Amino acid sequence: VLTVLDLWRIGNVAHGSGAVLGALFGFAELERHYQRKLRMAGVAGLVSTLTLIAVGAAFFRPQINFSGSPGRAHADEGLVLLEEHDPARADDAVAAYRSALAIDDSVANWWFNYGVALERTGDREACIAAYEHALDLEPSDPTYRSAVAAWRARGAYEADASGDFDRAIDLYRMALEVEPDHAGWWTNLSIALEMMDRHAEADLATERAGALGGVVVAP
């Protein structure tokens, strides 16, 4: 079993790292109306700092091809290219998996490996779409679930950092649909909700985080 930075144990996952996007906001002497928001923002930076370590730029390893589909030869070629770990061959791996999927687009394993190849080329949106397609085909696969959740959470952290709390809320919820027991994401969701004055929803998210052993932020 491989891990992401030895903190998150799931199958077929390589070590990943990412820049910490959370920021700790200073506590200033502002009107009382803003005090709760400032406390929440301070914790948001801390939780993002800790949980981003486990997500980062989620680099995943390809899975071995077991399908007997006619597209197997192209998929095998793509796998060989991916296992070379040569950035210059990533585009070739993408082309190989595109050829395989043009013949048979029902193999989740190929969609996942296609996502790995796309990730190595830097095509983030296409990479996420490929991972999500793999998950659609095999919703219970733990590697596909973790890949999709990791990328959604990363997008949420980035939205948080830019102040786009509406988008952060949407992406945290999407990540939690896949990994509902991630306490840190529940905490960050509660913080984003608090920043938008959605206090009742924030309290529910905080309760869920606490039940899972996460950070509980006092009102």
Tens digits of residue pLDDT in 141-195: 999 999 999 999 999 999 999 999 999 999 999 999 999 999 999 999 999 999 9
- As given in the structure block, the two tokens for residue 175 are 């990540």
Distance (Å) of CA 179 to CA 29, 53, 92, 106, 140: 38, 17, 32, 24, 11
| pLDDT tens digits, one per residue of 82-138 | 999 999 999 999 999 999 999 999 999 999 999 999 999 999 999 999 999 999 999
| Higher local confidence (pLDDT), 29 or 49 | 49
- As given in the structure block, the two tokens for residue 216 are 């509980």
Contacts of 58 (CB under 8 A, 6+ apart): 4, 13, 16, 18, 147, 150, 151, 154
Mean pLDDT of 44-49: 48
Does the pTM surpass 0.75? The reply is no
Domains of the chain: 3-59+145-211 (1.25.40.10), 72-143 (1.25.40.10)
